[in-house]
């Protein structure tokens, strides 16, 4: 990247960090209301507003400071119902894009978080304030991997069941990690632009929601080329194409989640091939002009 893009990235990162700190301080002042049953509904409404305001500020920074762009038809989800958001994972920028697409005019987005993030001051407070499910990823001496998986499944199920009382959209990156060519070669699988999906978390989410409740949103994120998060913040990515499809959660039986996910990943991979190869030449031409 050229110098002006590094400056854009640094300015956008600083603005995003200040935005996060400002709203987290406000959340900290309101957090005692979360503990009291009488004031808990008010806390939820206020915290949801804080979340959406923070997302709008991030959107403005990305659009007008960094120059990052993404193309997506408007998605409007009922904020009074629970939702599951399923997406492929290419970059840390995915989270900012998903939040923009889903939460700007819809429900807030909850993430599956590693336990270690609880001890990071700002992120730990956010996890507690919004009841993000916490998963134990690192093994401990003497711990049983099967027990950890069962514990994680219980946490995902509990977090999904809580959506019935406090509607939100819970995000699942079914690949479990960000896609790279190296990981694709190591893990194998029939996909060109995706890693093999794992259905355990998705099945637990579906099981936790009552039949007929909510929507599953399948998001496909197509970057014109492989870029770092820093390049995204500097506006050097080019337009990111975002496609979505909504499916009633009741149409996906949890016992068939892996088969359903494999079929969905085949479609997503075909879409990524067409989206990437149809747009990469024009996008990179636009990018070279911007440089």
CATH classification of the domain holding 214: 3.40.1130
pLDDT of residue 287: 35
| Spatial separation of the C-alpha atoms in residues 32 and 269, rounded to whole Å | 46
pLDDT in tens, the chain (291 residues): 889 999 999 999 999 999 999 999 999 899 888 888 788 888 888 999 999 999 999 999 999 999 999 999 999 998 888 899 999 999 999 999 999 999 988 999 988 777 788 888 888 888 888 888 777 655 555 556 666 667 767 777 777 777 777 788 999 899 988 998 899 999 888 999 999 999 888 888 888 876 567 889 999 999 988 888 999 999 988 889 999 999 998 888 888 999 999 999 999 999 998 866 554 444 433 333 333
Burial, 210: exposed, middle or buried (Cβ in 10 Å; 0-12, 13-18, 19+)? exposed
Identify whether 262 is part of a domain: yes
Euclidean distance between the first and the last CA atom of the chain, given in angstroms as a whole number: 8
pTM score of the predicted model: 0.85
Identify whether 57 is part of a domain: no
Identify whether 153 is part of a domain: yes
| Spatial separation of the C-alpha atoms in residues 28 and 23, rounded to whole Å | 9
Half-sphere exposure of 145 (CA within 13 A, CB side): 0
pLDDT of residue 195: 94
Identify whether 10 is part of a domain: no
Identify whether 80 is part of a domain: yes
Contacts 24+ apart (CB under 8 A), 274-279: 275/220, 275/222, 275/241, 275/243, 276/193, 276/222, 276/224, 279/222, 279/224, 279/239, 279/241
Instruction: Write out the residue range of the structural domain in which residue 125 sits.
Output: 71-137+148-290
Identify whether 11 is part of a domain: no
Q: How many residues appear in the chain?
A: 291
Cα dihedral 146→150→151→155 (10° resolution): 150
| Spatial separation of the C-alpha atoms in residues 207 and 30, rounded to whole Å | 33
Identify whether 30 is part of a domain: no
Residue pair 208/160 in contact (Cβ under 8 Å)? The answer is yes
Identify whether 227 is part of a domain: yes
pLDDT of residue 13: 95
Which 8-state DSSP code applies to residue 277? H
Task: Give the count of domains, the chain.
Answer: 1
């Amino acid at each position: 990247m050229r110098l002006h893009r590094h400056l854009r990235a640094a300015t956008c990162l600083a603005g995003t960090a200040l935005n996060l700190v400002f709203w987290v301080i406000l959340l900290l002042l309101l957090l005692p209301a979360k503990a009291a049953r009488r004031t808990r509904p008010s806390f939820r409404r206020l915290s949801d507003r804080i979340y959406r305001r923070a997302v709008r500020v991030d959107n403005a920074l990305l659009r007008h400071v960094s120059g990052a762009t993404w193309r997506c038809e408007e998605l409007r989800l009922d904020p009074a119902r629970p939702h599951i958001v399923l997406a492929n994972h290419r970059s840390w920028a995915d989270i900012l894009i998903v939040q923009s697409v889903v939460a700007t005019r819809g429900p807030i987005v909850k993430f599956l978080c590693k336990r270690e993030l609880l001890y990071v001051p700002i992120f730990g407070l956010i996890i507690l304030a919004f009841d993000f499910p916490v998963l134990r990823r690192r093994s401990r001496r003497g711990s049983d991997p099967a027990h950890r998986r069962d514990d994680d499944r219980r946490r995902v199920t509990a977090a999904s069941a809580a959506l019935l009382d406090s509607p939100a959209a819970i995000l699942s990156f079914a690949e479990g990690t960000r896609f790279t060519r190296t990981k694709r070669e190591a893990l194998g699988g029939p996909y060109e632009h995706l890693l093999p999906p794992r259905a355990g978390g998705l099945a637990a989410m579906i099981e936790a929601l009552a039949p007929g409740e909510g929507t599953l949103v399948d998001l496909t994120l197509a970057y014109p080329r492989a870029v770092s998060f820093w390049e995204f913040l500097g506006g050097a990515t080019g337009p990111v194409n975002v496609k979505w499809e909504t499916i009633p959660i009741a149409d996906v039986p949890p016992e068939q989640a892996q088969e359903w996910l494999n079929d969905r990943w085949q479609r997503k991979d075909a879409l990524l091939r067409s989206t990437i190869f149809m747009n990469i030449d024009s996008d990179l031409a636009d990018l070279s002009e911007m440089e």
